[in-house]
Amino acid sequence: MKPGHTIILFFLVLLFESGCKSVSSDYPILILGTNSNFGTYTGEILKAEGFNEFQIDSLTDRKINLTYLKRFDIVILNETVVNQTQKDMFSDYLKAGGNLIAFSPDILISELFGIIHTNSSIKEGYIKIDTINTIGKGLVYETIQFHGYSNIYKLNGGEEIASLFLNSGYYSGFPSVVLNDYGAGHAAAFTYNLPKSIVLTRQGNPDWAGEERDKVDGPTATDLFYPHKGEAQWNDPEKIAVPQADEQMRLLSHIIESFNTKTKPLPRFWYFPDMYKCIFIFTIDGEDTPESDIDKEFADVLNKGGNATLYEIGTYINPSVVTRWRSEGHEVAIHYNDVPDFADPDYTGMNAVFDTMTANFRNAYGLSPKTVRNHWVVWCSRDSYERKQFAEQAVIEEKYGIGLDCNYYQFGGNKVYPNWIGDVGHFTGSGIPMKFADVAGRVLNIYQSNTQLPDETWLKENIEKKSRTLIDRSLDEENYTYINANFHTWYWPECRQPGMRVLDYCNSRGVPIWPAERVYEFLKMKDEASFTDIKWSVGQLTFTIKSALENREGLTFLLPAKYGNSKIESISDNRQPLNFQNRKIKGCEYAMTTITPGKTHEISAIYR
């Protein structure tokens, strides 16, 4: 071969490789944030949405430079102050083709998002997603609430994909979420602090911590949402049918997936085990009712193919009976009783209750409880220094190894109670259990489950109708929900007939009936699993799923059904073909397949 031909061949190879290059990174998503301003809670949002392929760093870490950012397809910047050097770094990252998402961005970097600050802001507003836009397609079309402040920006080249409203009906004329092309890259900004808003929507108003507001049996978690006269309810009761927090998290997911159409398809985990679209959690506040009554209720649930959780005061039940219940698939846990201090629960008293009752329970049954609902849902909102802490109860529960809390309890909804927090739905703005965060932004290792269906709220004549409503919304309206119901043993004789019809309806619609512990074990397994080594080359996506926790449930992941002009043709695990389903979820097409957790899976997906 002549020298000139060698040079030509060299450049042809370079040209070919540049068009067919393999795109890879350790993790595709980098979160820049700390506990401050709830920055690390962004990781919980991504896990809830199934994007278990991220890394969290602090913007002030010495390793954060342009070279480091370029390792990631997407950088998510949480609310923080940005200096000129950092602005230049983000600018260069975008110019080089990076993707940047920011929450409540510093004014200094406004131009990256195609917006100009107006030197004004609003507090406690609403947003409205443009559902005509590809990114907003399939999401809620009505206004939804956020908590905290939003800066007010004018568009300066950016595209408005969600509008900023001063209240549920009054458009401000300004954007709340924007997209912008910058250099070869793409940028998106939420004008408010999304993770902080999600925490406050789910957990209530920290300033109301420890106050008796709902006129029901002392301070409870529900009091964190209930207004005094002249105040607005924390979460709009007219929006209770809408999972407002979840829809805003899904908007973030749509942005992430839109940005990744320029890099590679991203895998996600599904909200539920296997291919389910709803789970019905059956819990029983047994109080101190006779063992025989509890046994009858457990048997009723078991006869309908389900299992239940018992929250028990004391250890009077025979250990052999507890062992039998456990062998049948039920959960037995503690109904922690701080009722003597219900009017003013404090850290010292609640901690003493947990210490004594946990030790007694372990001694009696050899069990450590994994989930909890307190007697009278008493909620401690003061730390050991007597400071207001709206998640202090969860801090205590975390200390004792509890993994899932059911104390967010929808008191109100009928004439029995003098308060009104809204019809059946999502008074916490969410149908998906997620971990708590404390007021300092620290993520707590315990999940929050909203009890939407307390029997004493909806009573026997409404419990069936309200249950059907939540099930239908989850299955038919993509209002995905882990439904948590409480049927007290002492109410069961009166509620049994409608309660059994609820279980029949679950069975007719393919909704599993689970104890809370089983939900917790699934969530823990799902969040521990991760995607690594994601690579895209010539229509082939490969990645590794690492899962260390064994579980009886299937772990389902999603892939975009289409990528560019190609459709997914096959999915294999360790070179063995996997069956998959195509499903439309919140306006997007996915291929879904299920694997066994507790193993490492080498996944390959072919697009043609």
- DSSP string of 294-354, one letter each residue: HHHHHHHHHHTT---EEEESSS-S-HHHHHHHHHTT-EEEE----GGGTTS--HHHHHHHH
- Distance, CA of 169 to chain centre: 27
Looking at the fold, whether 501 and 553 belong to one and the same domain comes out as no
The reported pLDDT for the residue numbered 418 is 53
The reported pLDDT for the residue numbered 419 is 64
The residue to which tokens 């996944």 are assigned: 603
Look at residue 597 in the predicted model and tell me its pLDDT. 98
What pLDDT does residue 8 have?
A: 37
Q: What is the predicted pLDDT for the residue at 338?
A: 96
Question: Do residues 297 and 433 both lie within one domain?
Answer: yes
Domain that holds residue 551: 529-607
Residue 573 lies in a domain: yes
Q: What is the pLDDT of residue 459?
A: 79
**Per-residue model confidence as pLDDT tens digits over 137-192:** 999 999 999 999 999 999 999 999 999 999 999 999 999 999 999 999 999 999 99
Is pLDDT of 211 > 80? yes
Listed residues 166, 201, 236: the one ending a domain: 201
The helix (run of H) or strand (run of E) holding residue 357 is helix 347-365
The answer to the question of residue 383 being in a domain is yes
CATH number at residue 395: 3.20.20.370
Residue 225 lies in a domain: no
Q: What local confidence, expressed as pLDDT, does residue 17 receive?
A: 34
- Considering the domain boundaries, does residue 124 fall inside one? yes
Residue 21 has pLDDT above 50, yes or no: no
User: What is the mean predicted confidence (pLDDT) over 464-492?
Assistant: 97
Q: Give the model confidence (pLDDT) of 114-138 as tens digits.
A: 999 999 999 999 999 999 999 999 9
Q: How confident is the model at residue 12 (pLDDT cuts 50, 70, 90)?
A: very low
pLDDT at residue 365 greater than cutoff 80: yes
What would the DSSP string read from start to end of 482-508? EEEEE--TTTHHHHHHHHHHHHHHHHH
Q: Domain of 33: which CATH number?
A: 3.40.50.880
**Residue after which a domain boundary falls, among 174, 201, 228:** 201
Whether residue 448 is contained in a domain is answered as yes
Question: What is the residue-averaged pLDDT of the chain?
Answer: 93
Q: What is the rounded distance in angstroms from the CA atom of residue 554 to the CA atom of residue 322? A: 27
Q: pLDDT band at 400, cuts 50/70/90?
A: very high
**Overall domain count for the chain:** 3
Same domain, 47 and 192: yes
Mean per-residue pLDDT, 294-300: 98
Question: Is the same domain home to 505 and 553?
Answer: no
What is the per-residue pLDDT for 415? 44
Residue 164 covered by a domain: yes
pTM value is 0.94
397 and 537 share a domain?
A: no
pLDDT band at 412 (very low <50, low <70, confident <90, very high): low
